[in-house]
Structure 1
Amino acid sequence: MAHITLALKTPTGDTLATHALDTTGAPQHIAAMNGAYYQFTDAASGLAPEGLITKRQGDDLYITFDDGTDLIIDHYFSQGQGALVGQQANGGLRNYTVAALGEYELAAEVAAAPAASAPDTAGKAGLAVLGGLALVGGGIAIAARDHDKDHHDDNVAPQPQPEPQPGSNPQANHAGKITISGEMKVGQTLAAQVSDGDGAPDNVQYQWLRDGEPISGETGATYRLSSDDAGHKISVHAEYTDAKGTAEKPTSTALDVENITQTPVANHEGTVSITGGDKVGSTLTANISDADGVPDTGVTYQWLRDGQAIDQANGKTYILTPDDADHQISVQAAYKDKAGHDEDQTSDIRDIPASPSSGPYSEYAVKAASSTVVNVKNPAFGAKGDGKTDDTAAIQKAIDAVAAKGGGIVDIPSGTYLLDAMRHETSSFETSGLVMKSNVTLRMTSTTLLRAMPNDSQYAAIVTIKDANNVHLIVAAPSKATVPPIPENTANGGTV
């Protein structure tokens, strides 16, 4: 039992396909490949198999390594009749004689064939029967010397066939070509075009090159020239297998890109617009439009109130807070467009109307100890206000952050916020719920609800004000709502 590996190779030695042959079972079928030769390797020795017997059956080639037929190369005699070879111990290639005719047909040809007067006048049939059969494979011809199948001293490597024998020469490959179309200017789009007389497939793999080096990520059939290409040479490489099974790897002629320092490309300035509602709590979105192309990443945003930067408002979207009421909101966007121009654009102004008056509490204006204003739903704090999540820690984090900056306003927008109202001990006193700090104002809307989580404590409280000064709780209540007053003595201690 032999284990044989078969490799189908091009005349340049590139492997097209590999097959593992098992001689213990039924014959294995493979399809002949025009322009290839067949190299056999015995797995036990790493060299050419000792015994290889061939037989022609119609258009197919039958091959035996042990007893019986082990391999059938379908359509071998109409697909180039590639050479059968194997690696020898001295590094050379041993070639195997291919039976061009069946056993009885071969005997008849031998009897009828005239003696060859000279190698250059022998006919094809004569070469076949006398052992001088030209084994042609993709432009390779190996001439076998007169010997029987047990003579293994051949050391003939495949050589180019200058004048292949008529009738056994595979069709010559029509080398594929690739060209570039388009204007070689920054901002223009180039297109790669493949042409191949043997037929080009749809799944061509491309790689665009700048000065012969691959351009990262540019593997499509088109390429848009950027400012990085100005003054450089652009080409494109393609790899595919044509319709006749030949691997093709053409590269286009390198073309010069016009230098933008000589002929600058006009910039199409981008614009920034704002969409979204204009009421407190609404979400605004910045939208960029640029004829030169907007990048997918690298855009920097800054939201502005009355032309001044809003702290921590650096995303594509912005949620309006009570501080924005009766003010003007805009957004600034900075980026490099796809033509290489640096853009820094500011949107038109959006006027945010003042919140409607709804009673003394909404009219009461607090003079904050500092300009710091935070929203508890900011990702830095993470309050949900969904009536399901314990928001105690998130709101307390916002209170502590404002207090650390000397005071300010903590906005709690519309929603239901669950709070842990159970009494808990600190280092100096007992507190419940939210613990207020000096110079901090809690500002809520008329639809903000602070709700204690279910508990059985007799001393539960939502807000604790103790040892804190200049503390305020503001509620924009409905006009007819009754809002209980805040105890005036809370500077020294108290709960709500």
Structure 2
Amino acid sequence: MPKLKLKTAKPKITGTAKVGKTLTAKKGKWTSSTSVSYQWYRNGKKISGATKATYKLKAADSGKKISVKATGKKTGYTTASKTSGKTKAVAKGTLSAAKPKISGSAKVGKTLKVKTGKWSPSSTKVSYQWKRNGKKISGAKKSSYKVKAADKGKRISVTVTGKASGYKTKSVTSGSTAVVKYPSAMYPSGWNCPSWAPIKGNASSMIYHVPGGAYYSRTNPEQCFASASAAKSAGYRASKR
């Protein structure tokens, strides 16, 4: 007995043709109880493993056109296939990003760090650019930044840029820090204290020395202070000479 002919319908694709989005195949009306399977195509070539009624667009689909073939099977009927029309060229996806946050103290000599938050897709690679009053700081392209004397009186922010194959590059900028100030004390390397913290503290004697004092030039400081009150708060006493 010859097999019967299936009633078929050309499938239609719904959804947005954009990387990261999901397309759905609508099979239309086939002969009742027909079992329908699917195969998705990229520019007319089979996409490996894409055999469900839905298909999530990948980076490899960017710039390509997607179609789907529906194949119907039913006992006593001849197997039949129908292919949809093609989508428009798949657009690049949009990265999902959190606003970065800066942690740390906005004081000269201190280190600021950025927390990028979650980016999607997880394959996104991020880069950094620290800024001083909104202007790029030359060479400041790591996830941390040591505050410099040049930053005093300015506000610091950081721009995080994400890149992923098949997605548009995206940049997100943090909020700004408080105005950068000098700390009341710092730990020097060597004999000299900076001009903004000229008072030398000697840890072995717990005595501080001010510029012009008898022992100032002979003191190798363990700490430098911006003021005598800061030195006293740290437990130091004034030199008698």
Q: TM-score, normalised by structure 2?
A: 0.49
Name the structure where helix makes up a greater proportion of residues: 1
Q: TM-score, normalised by structure 1?
A: 0.28
Q: Higher RCO, 1 or 2 (CA under 8 Å, sep at least 6)? A: 2
